[in-house]
Amino acid sequence: MLQLRNLTRYYVQLQEQKTALGNIKHSKDCSYEIQSFMIKSNKGLIAQIDKQIGQCLKEIKRLIELNKELKAKINKLNTIKGIGLITIVTTLAETMGFEQFNSAKQLVQLCWL
């Protein structure tokens, strides 16, 4: 579960970096007389991060396939409308598969609901 937690945290970090670079790209696209090198460089960085995100997602899926119990939990949670694989896996990884909780009430308290 710790490997999965590390991967989901890394996935989030990559997404944040991609967002930041996307914001920079947008500002450069709207700038006057910007050097083409900067735009090409930024696009290249975004492409590299996209590749890393894909590899990270692939590794997350590989770890899921290796753990039947985890896969069963994911399949159950996947029936909830509006949440996707990364949200499910992150929640499970951060809560150690809900093993640290004796009741649903404890989990809800963690979420401040």
DSSP string, the chain: -HHHHHHHHHHHHHHHHHHHHHHHHHHHHTSTT--HHHHHHHHHHHHHHHHHHHHHHHHHHHHHHH-HHHHHHHHHHTTSTT--HHHHHHHHHHTTTTTT-SSHHHHHHHTT-
- The predicted structure's pLDDT at residue 60: 97
Residue 113 to residue 109: CA distance in whole angstroms: 6
Q: What is the pTM of this model?
A: 0.84
Range of 62's domain?
A: 2-110
- Per residue of the chain (113 residues), give pLDDT as tens: 899 999 999 999 999 999 999 998 888 888 777 788 888 899 999 999 999 999 999 999 999 999 999 999 999 999 999 999 999 999 999 888 888 888 888 877 877 65
Number of domains in the chain: 1
